[in-house]
Amino acid sequence: MEIPRPDPERESHAAAVSPADITLRPLSIDDVDDFMVWATDANVTRFCTWEPYKSRDEAVSFITNVAAPHPWFRAICLGDRPIGAVSVTRNSGGDRCRAGEMGYVLAHGHWGKGIATAAVKMAAAAVFRERPELERVEALVDVENVASLRVLEKAGFTREGTLRKYVVLKGKSRDMVMFSLLSTDLLPLRHQ
Amino acid sequence: MEPIDSERITVRPFEPADADDYFSWASDDRVVRNLRRTPLTARDQALATIIDVCIPHPWRRSICVDGRSVGFVSVNPGSGDHRCRADISYALATDFWGRGVATAAVKLAVARVFGDLGEVLRLQAFVDVGNRASQRVLEKAGFQREGMLRKYTYLKGELKDLYLYSLLSADTGTNSN
Protein backbone atom coordinates (compact mmCIF):
# COMPACT_ATOMS: atom_id res chain seq x y z
CA MET A 1 0.00 0.00 0.00
CA GLU A 2 1.37 3.35 -0.98
CA ILE A 3 2.32 5.64 1.94
CA PRO A 4 0.39 8.89 1.60
CA ARG A 5 2.46 11.94 0.75
CA PRO A 6 2.23 14.78 3.29
CA ASP A 7 -0.14 17.57 2.28
CA PRO A 8 1.71 20.92 2.68
CA GLU A 9 -1.52 22.83 3.49
CA ARG A 10 -2.38 20.45 6.31
CA GLU A 11 1.24 20.33 7.49
CA SER A 12 1.27 24.09 7.86
CA HIS A 13 -1.96 24.00 9.86
CA ALA A 14 -0.66 21.31 12.18
CA ALA A 15 2.81 22.78 12.67
CA ALA A 16 1.72 26.45 12.66
CA VAL A 17 4.62 27.33 10.34
CA SER A 18 4.63 30.93 9.12
CA PRO A 19 6.19 32.19 5.89
CA ALA A 20 7.78 35.18 7.61
CA ASP A 21 9.20 35.73 11.10
CA ILE A 22 5.71 35.96 12.59
CA THR A 23 4.92 35.12 16.20
CA LEU A 24 1.90 35.61 18.45
CA ARG A 25 2.18 36.77 22.06
CA PRO A 26 0.19 38.79 24.61
CA LEU A 27 0.22 42.57 24.27
CA SER A 28 1.82 44.58 27.08
CA ILE A 29 1.94 48.25 28.10
CA ASP A 30 5.48 48.36 26.69
CA ASP A 31 3.93 47.82 23.23
CA VAL A 32 1.88 51.02 23.29
CA ASP A 33 3.96 52.88 20.67
CA ASP A 34 3.79 49.95 18.25
CA PHE A 35 0.05 49.64 19.01
CA MET A 36 -0.49 53.30 18.11
CA VAL A 37 1.00 52.72 14.63
CA TRP A 38 -2.00 50.64 13.51
CA ALA A 39 -4.62 51.87 15.97
CA THR A 40 -4.43 55.47 14.78
CA ASP A 41 -4.69 54.55 11.09
CA ALA A 42 -8.05 55.09 9.36
CA ASN A 43 -7.06 52.53 6.68
CA VAL A 44 -6.90 49.92 9.43
CA THR A 45 -10.08 50.96 11.27
CA ARG A 46 -12.26 51.36 8.17
CA PHE A 47 -14.15 48.11 8.77
CA CYS A 48 -13.66 48.00 12.54
CA THR A 49 -16.36 48.92 15.01
CA TRP A 50 -13.99 51.45 16.55
CA GLU A 51 -12.55 54.80 15.40
CA PRO A 52 -8.81 55.55 15.22
CA TYR A 53 -7.19 56.13 18.60
CA LYS A 54 -6.21 59.69 19.38
CA SER A 55 -4.08 59.36 22.52
CA ARG A 56 -1.61 57.05 24.24
CA ASP A 57 -3.88 57.10 27.31
CA GLU A 58 -6.67 55.48 25.29
CA ALA A 59 -4.20 52.86 24.06
CA VAL A 60 -2.89 52.11 27.56
CA SER A 61 -6.48 51.80 28.77
CA PHE A 62 -7.31 49.35 25.98
CA ILE A 63 -4.22 47.22 26.60
CA THR A 64 -4.88 47.12 30.35
CA ASN A 65 -8.67 46.82 30.46
CA VAL A 66 -9.52 44.94 27.25
CA ALA A 67 -6.53 43.10 25.80
CA ALA A 68 -5.06 41.83 29.07
CA PRO A 69 -8.22 40.23 30.54
CA HIS A 70 -9.50 39.07 27.13
CA PRO A 71 -10.21 35.32 26.72
CA TRP A 72 -7.73 35.16 23.81
CA PHE A 73 -5.91 38.24 22.52
CA ARG A 74 -2.48 38.16 20.86
CA ALA A 75 -0.19 40.68 19.24
CA ILE A 76 0.96 39.68 15.75
CA CYS A 77 4.72 40.21 15.91
CA LEU A 78 7.41 40.57 13.28
CA GLY A 79 10.76 40.03 14.97
CA ASP A 80 8.94 40.43 18.30
CA ARG A 81 7.64 43.93 17.40
CA PRO A 82 3.80 44.05 17.33
CA ILE A 83 2.40 44.98 13.92
CA GLY A 84 -1.20 43.94 14.57
CA ALA A 85 -3.46 41.81 16.70
CA VAL A 86 -5.68 38.74 16.49
CA SER A 87 -8.33 37.69 18.99
CA VAL A 88 -10.92 34.98 19.52
CA THR A 89 -13.97 35.56 21.70
CA ARG A 90 -15.59 33.12 24.00
CA ASN A 91 -19.32 32.86 23.21
CA SER A 92 -21.54 32.73 26.26
CA GLY A 93 -24.52 30.69 27.36
CA GLY A 94 -25.52 27.72 25.23
CA ASP A 95 -22.71 28.47 22.80
CA ARG A 96 -19.94 28.41 25.35
CA CYS A 97 -18.61 25.07 24.27
CA ARG A 98 -18.68 25.36 20.59
CA ALA A 99 -17.60 28.59 18.99
CA GLY A 100 -15.38 31.62 19.11
CA GLU A 101 -15.41 34.62 16.81
CA MET A 102 -12.07 35.70 15.41
CA GLY A 103 -11.03 39.24 14.57
CA TYR A 104 -7.72 40.68 13.41
CA VAL A 105 -6.04 43.93 12.45
CA LEU A 106 -2.70 44.57 10.78
CA ALA A 107 -0.66 47.72 10.28
CA HIS A 108 -1.26 49.04 6.77
CA GLY A 109 2.43 49.00 5.84
CA HIS A 110 2.46 45.20 6.22
CA TRP A 111 -0.59 44.42 4.10
CA GLY A 112 -0.24 42.21 1.03
CA LYS A 113 2.58 39.98 2.33
CA GLY A 114 0.56 37.05 3.65
CA ILE A 115 1.15 38.05 7.26
CA ALA A 116 -2.51 38.21 8.29
CA THR A 117 -3.11 34.82 6.65
CA ALA A 118 -0.20 33.32 8.58
CA ALA A 119 -1.36 34.90 11.84
CA VAL A 120 -4.95 33.68 11.35
CA LYS A 121 -3.72 30.12 10.67
CA MET A 122 -1.47 30.19 13.73
CA ALA A 123 -4.19 31.67 15.94
CA ALA A 124 -6.80 29.12 14.85
CA ALA A 125 -4.43 26.20 15.44
CA ALA A 126 -3.44 27.57 18.84
CA VAL A 127 -6.95 28.24 20.08
CA PHE A 128 -8.18 24.78 19.00
CA ARG A 129 -5.20 23.27 20.86
CA GLU A 130 -5.84 25.30 24.00
CA ARG A 131 -9.62 24.81 24.08
CA PRO A 132 -10.41 21.14 23.42
CA GLU A 133 -14.15 21.85 23.71
CA LEU A 134 -14.00 24.43 20.90
CA GLU A 135 -15.70 23.10 17.78
CA ARG A 136 -15.85 26.14 15.52
CA VAL A 137 -14.05 29.42 14.93
CA GLU A 138 -16.07 31.89 12.89
CA ALA A 139 -15.35 35.28 11.37
CA LEU A 140 -17.63 37.93 9.88
CA VAL A 141 -16.21 40.16 7.16
CA ASP A 142 -17.79 43.14 5.45
CA VAL A 143 -18.62 42.29 1.81
CA GLU A 144 -16.52 45.25 0.69
CA ASN A 145 -13.45 44.24 2.69
CA VAL A 146 -11.95 42.31 -0.20
CA ALA A 147 -8.47 41.92 1.30
CA SER A 148 -9.86 40.37 4.47
CA LEU A 149 -12.15 38.02 2.51
CA ARG A 150 -8.99 36.72 0.79
CA VAL A 151 -7.14 36.27 4.10
CA LEU A 152 -9.75 33.86 5.39
CA GLU A 153 -10.04 31.98 2.12
CA LYS A 154 -6.26 31.50 2.00
CA ALA A 155 -6.28 30.50 5.66
CA GLY A 156 -8.59 27.61 4.80
CA PHE A 157 -11.86 28.92 6.26
CA THR A 158 -15.14 27.92 4.59
CA ARG A 159 -17.26 30.74 3.22
CA GLU A 160 -20.75 29.87 4.43
CA GLY A 161 -22.82 32.73 3.03
CA THR A 162 -23.51 36.44 2.83
CA LEU A 163 -25.72 37.73 5.64
CA ARG A 164 -27.65 40.72 4.39
CA LYS A 165 -27.92 43.83 6.61
CA TYR A 166 -26.47 41.78 9.45
CA VAL A 167 -24.90 44.52 11.61
CA VAL A 168 -24.77 48.26 11.99
CA LEU A 169 -21.23 49.54 11.44
CA LYS A 170 -20.59 53.21 12.09
CA GLY A 171 -24.25 54.03 11.65
CA LYS A 172 -24.93 52.00 8.48
CA SER A 173 -26.35 48.50 8.09
CA ARG A 174 -23.84 46.22 6.37
CA ASP A 175 -23.83 42.90 4.54
CA MET A 176 -21.34 40.52 6.14
CA VAL A 177 -19.79 37.30 4.89
CA MET A 178 -19.73 34.43 7.41
CA PHE A 179 -16.65 32.18 7.44
CA SER A 180 -15.93 29.22 9.66
CA LEU A 181 -13.12 26.83 10.51
CA LEU A 182 -13.97 23.66 12.42
CA SER A 183 -11.60 21.76 14.67
CA THR A 184 -12.19 18.79 12.36
CA ASP A 185 -11.06 20.88 9.34
CA LEU A 186 -7.55 20.84 10.81
CA LEU A 187 -7.29 17.04 10.96
CA PRO A 188 -4.87 15.58 8.41
CA LEU A 189 -6.53 13.95 5.40
CA ARG A 190 -6.54 10.18 5.70
CA HIS A 191 -6.04 8.09 2.62
CA GLN A 192 -8.10 4.90 2.16
CA MET B 1 -54.76 16.58 6.59
CA GLU B 2 -56.89 19.30 5.06
CA PRO B 3 -55.57 22.84 4.70
CA ILE B 4 -57.09 25.37 7.09
CA ASP B 5 -58.83 28.30 5.40
CA SER B 6 -56.56 31.32 5.93
CA GLU B 7 -59.46 33.44 7.26
CA ARG B 8 -59.52 31.18 10.33
CA ILE B 9 -55.82 31.81 11.10
CA THR B 10 -54.90 34.87 13.15
CA VAL B 11 -51.91 36.17 15.07
CA ARG B 12 -52.53 38.16 18.28
CA PRO B 13 -50.96 38.85 21.67
CA PHE B 14 -51.23 36.13 24.30
CA GLU B 15 -53.84 36.41 27.07
CA PRO B 16 -54.01 34.65 30.45
CA ALA B 17 -57.14 32.86 29.18
CA ASP B 18 -54.91 31.03 26.66
CA ALA B 19 -53.29 29.02 29.48
CA ASP B 20 -55.05 25.69 28.90
CA ASP B 21 -54.57 25.83 25.13
CA TYR B 22 -50.95 26.94 25.64
CA PHE B 23 -50.31 23.97 27.91
CA SER B 24 -51.74 21.49 25.41
CA TRP B 25 -49.15 22.31 22.71
CA ALA B 26 -46.27 23.54 24.90
CA SER B 27 -46.23 20.23 26.81
CA ASP B 28 -45.78 18.26 23.57
CA ASP B 29 -42.22 17.15 22.99
CA ARG B 30 -42.68 17.07 19.23
CA VAL B 31 -43.76 20.73 19.16
CA VAL B 32 -40.69 22.03 21.03
CA ARG B 33 -38.17 19.53 19.66
CA ASN B 34 -36.23 22.11 17.62
CA LEU B 35 -36.46 24.89 20.19
CA ARG B 36 -34.26 25.52 23.21
CA ARG B 37 -37.23 25.25 25.57
CA THR B 38 -38.30 21.94 27.11
CA PRO B 39 -41.92 20.70 27.23
CA LEU B 40 -44.06 22.05 30.07
CA THR B 41 -44.91 19.45 32.68
CA ALA B 42 -47.51 21.25 34.83
CA ARG B 43 -50.49 23.41 33.88
CA ASP B 44 -49.55 26.28 36.19
CA GLN B 45 -46.34 26.72 34.18
CA ALA B 46 -48.47 27.77 31.19
CA LEU B 47 -50.12 30.70 32.96
CA ALA B 48 -46.79 31.75 34.49
CA THR B 49 -45.07 31.67 31.08
CA ILE B 50 -47.83 33.73 29.46
CA ILE B 51 -47.69 36.38 32.20
CA ASP B 52 -43.94 36.43 32.84
CA VAL B 53 -42.56 35.85 29.34
CA CYS B 54 -45.07 36.07 26.48
CA ILE B 55 -46.88 39.26 27.44
CA PRO B 56 -43.79 41.38 28.32
CA HIS B 57 -41.83 40.04 25.31
CA PRO B 58 -40.74 42.57 22.63
CA TRP B 59 -42.81 40.71 20.02
CA ARG B 60 -44.46 37.38 20.73
CA ARG B 61 -47.83 36.37 19.36
CA SER B 62 -50.19 33.46 19.65
CA ILE B 63 -50.97 31.62 16.43
CA CYS B 64 -54.73 31.09 16.59
CA VAL B 65 -57.20 28.99 14.66
CA ASP B 66 -60.78 30.11 15.23
CA GLY B 67 -59.47 32.37 17.98
CA ARG B 68 -57.82 29.63 20.04
CA SER B 69 -54.07 29.39 20.61
CA VAL B 70 -52.40 26.58 18.65
CA GLY B 71 -48.82 27.86 18.72
CA PHE B 72 -46.59 30.91 18.81
CA VAL B 73 -44.47 33.12 16.61
CA SER B 74 -41.77 35.16 18.29
CA VAL B 75 -39.46 37.90 17.03
CA ASN B 76 -36.46 38.77 19.18
CA PRO B 77 -34.58 41.93 18.18
CA GLY B 78 -30.89 42.49 18.82
CA SER B 79 -29.43 45.51 20.57
CA GLY B 80 -26.56 47.90 19.93
CA ASP B 81 -24.76 47.10 16.68
CA HIS B 82 -27.15 44.16 16.26
CA ARG B 83 -30.31 46.27 16.46
CA CYS B 84 -30.92 45.99 12.71
CA ARG B 85 -31.66 42.28 12.96
CA ALA B 86 -34.16 40.07 14.78
CA ASP B 87 -34.54 36.31 15.18
CA ILE B 88 -37.90 34.80 14.28
CA SER B 89 -39.02 31.48 15.70
CA TYR B 90 -42.32 29.61 15.78
CA ALA B 91 -43.96 26.37 16.84
CA LEU B 92 -47.34 24.79 16.23
CA ALA B 93 -49.56 22.11 17.73
CA THR B 94 -49.10 18.86 15.80
CA ASP B 95 -52.80 18.66 14.80
CA PHE B 96 -52.16 21.70 12.62
CA TRP B 97 -48.94 20.59 10.95
CA GLY B 98 -49.01 20.34 7.16
CA ARG B 99 -52.15 22.47 6.80
CA GLY B 100 -50.71 25.87 5.88
CA VAL B 101 -51.07 27.33 9.36
CA ALA B 102 -47.42 28.07 10.12
CA THR B 103 -46.91 29.63 6.69
CA ALA B 104 -49.97 31.85 7.12
CA ALA B 105 -48.86 32.85 10.61
CA VAL B 106 -45.31 33.72 9.55
CA LYS B 107 -46.69 35.79 6.65
CA LEU B 108 -48.97 37.67 9.07
CA ALA B 109 -46.07 38.24 11.45
CA VAL B 110 -43.82 39.51 8.66
CA ALA B 111 -46.52 41.93 7.50
CA ARG B 112 -46.63 43.55 10.96
CA VAL B 113 -43.29 43.17 12.68
CA PHE B 114 -41.23 45.64 10.61
CA GLY B 115 -43.76 48.35 11.39
CA ASP B 116 -43.81 47.42 15.08
CA LEU B 117 -40.00 47.17 15.48
CA GLY B 118 -38.79 50.22 13.59
CA GLU B 119 -35.04 49.57 13.83
CA VAL B 120 -35.25 46.03 12.47
CA LEU B 121 -34.20 45.77 8.82
CA ARG B 122 -33.54 42.01 8.80
CA LEU B 123 -35.51 39.03 10.08
CA GLN B 124 -33.49 35.85 10.32
CA ALA B 125 -34.36 32.25 11.11
CA PHE B 126 -32.09 29.34 11.99
CA VAL B 127 -33.46 25.98 10.85
CA ASP B 128 -32.10 22.48 11.37
CA VAL B 129 -30.82 21.15 8.04
CA GLY B 130 -33.13 18.14 8.53
CA ASN B 131 -36.28 20.18 9.21
CA ARG B 132 -37.57 20.33 5.67
CA ALA B 133 -41.13 21.32 6.67
CA SER B 134 -39.93 24.43 8.49
CA GLN B 135 -37.61 25.34 5.60
CA ARG B 136 -40.65 25.26 3.30
CA VAL B 137 -42.60 27.57 5.65
CA LEU B 138 -39.86 30.16 5.43
CA GLU B 139 -39.43 29.78 1.67
CA LYS B 140 -43.17 30.22 1.09
CA ALA B 141 -43.12 33.28 3.34
CA GLY B 142 -40.44 34.83 1.12
CA PHE B 143 -37.26 34.17 3.13
CA GLN B 144 -33.98 33.50 1.29
CA ARG B 145 -31.53 30.82 2.38
CA GLU B 146 -28.15 32.48 2.86
CA GLY B 147 -26.07 29.43 3.72
CA MET B 148 -25.36 26.58 6.08
CA LEU B 149 -23.62 27.29 9.39
CA ARG B 150 -21.58 24.24 10.35
CA LYS B 151 -21.66 23.06 13.98
CA TYR B 152 -23.21 26.41 14.82
CA THR B 153 -24.73 25.65 18.22
CA TYR B 154 -25.61 23.00 20.73
CA LEU B 155 -29.34 22.34 21.00
CA LYS B 156 -30.43 19.94 23.73
CA GLY B 157 -26.99 18.42 23.84
CA GLU B 158 -26.53 17.94 20.09
CA LEU B 159 -24.20 19.96 17.90
CA LYS B 160 -26.21 21.33 14.98
CA ASP B 161 -25.63 22.31 11.37
CA LEU B 162 -28.21 25.02 10.67
CA TYR B 163 -29.49 26.81 7.59
CA LEU B 164 -29.75 30.56 7.97
CA TYR B 165 -32.67 32.27 6.22
CA SER B 166 -33.38 35.96 6.04
CA LEU B 167 -36.06 38.38 4.97
CA LEU B 168 -35.38 42.11 4.75
CA SER B 169 -37.93 44.86 5.24
CA ALA B 170 -36.75 45.97 1.80
CA ASP B 171 -37.84 42.58 0.39
CA THR B 172 -41.40 43.19 1.58
CA GLY B 173 -41.65 46.70 0.18
CA THR B 174 -42.20 48.04 3.70
CA ASN B 175 -41.18 51.66 3.80
CA SER B 176 -38.85 51.77 6.79
CA ASN B 177 -35.32 53.13 7.13
Q: How confident is the model at residue A10 (pLDDT cuts 50, 70, 90)?
A: very low
Cα(A134)–Cα(A128) distance, integer angstroms? 6
Antiparallel, parallel or unpaired: β B60-65 and A73-78: unpaired
Mean pLDDT, residues A71-83: 94
Angle between helices B132-140 and B101-116 (to 10 degrees): 50
Kindly list the structural domains of chain B, giving each domain's residue range(s) and its CATH number in brackets, ordered by start. Answer: 6-172 (3.40.630.30)
Average pLDDT, chain A: 88
Beta bridge partners of B76: B87
Q: Following DSSP, what letter does each residue of B75-100 receive, concatenated?
A: EEE--GGGTTEEEEEEEE-GGGTTTT
> Which residues on adjacent β-strands are paired with residue A100?
A137
- Output the CA angle A23-A29-A33, nearest 5 degrees: 80
Judged by average pLDDT, the poorest of A11-15, A64-68, A129-133, B22-26 is A11-15
Nearest residue in chain B measured CA to CA from A134: B151
Would an 8 Å CB–CB cutoff place B142 in contact with chain A? no
Task: Decide if B121 touches A, using CB distance below 8 A.
Answer: yes
Residue B41: pLDDT band by 50, 70, 90 thresholds? very high
Q: Is the predicted pLDDT of residue B87 greater than 90, yes or no?
A: yes
For residue B121, is pLDDT > 60?
A: yes
CA-nearest residue of chain B to A179?
B149
Distance from CA of A171 to the nearest CA of B (A): 9
- What order of strands is seen across the sheet that includes strand A172-182? A22-25, A73-78, A81-88, A99-106, A136-142, A172-182, A158-169
pLDDT at A91: 73
Q: Where are the alpha helices (DSSP H) in A26-139?
A: 32-39, 42-45, 56-62, 115-130
Say if residue A25's pLDDT is above 70.
Answer: yes
Cβ separation A164–B166 shorter than 8 A: yes
- pLDDT mean across residues, chain B: 96
Query: Residue B177, SS3?
Result: coil
For the cut 90, the answer to whether the pLDDT of residue A1 exceeds it is no
Which whole number is the average pLDDT over A122-150? 95
Give the pLDDT confidence score for residue B112 in this predicted structure: 97
Alpha-carbon distance of B161 to A135, in angstroms, equals 12
B66-79: pLDDT as tens digits: 999 999 999 999 99
Q: Per mean pLDDT, which range of A6-15, A174-183, B45-54 is the poorest?
A: A6-15
B124 at A interface, C-beta within 8 A: yes
Tell me the pLDDT tens digit for each residue of A83-121: 999 999 987 656 666 789 999 999 999 999 999 999 999
Q: The whole model's pTM is what?
A: 0.90
CB-nearest to B151 from A164, A173, A182 is A182
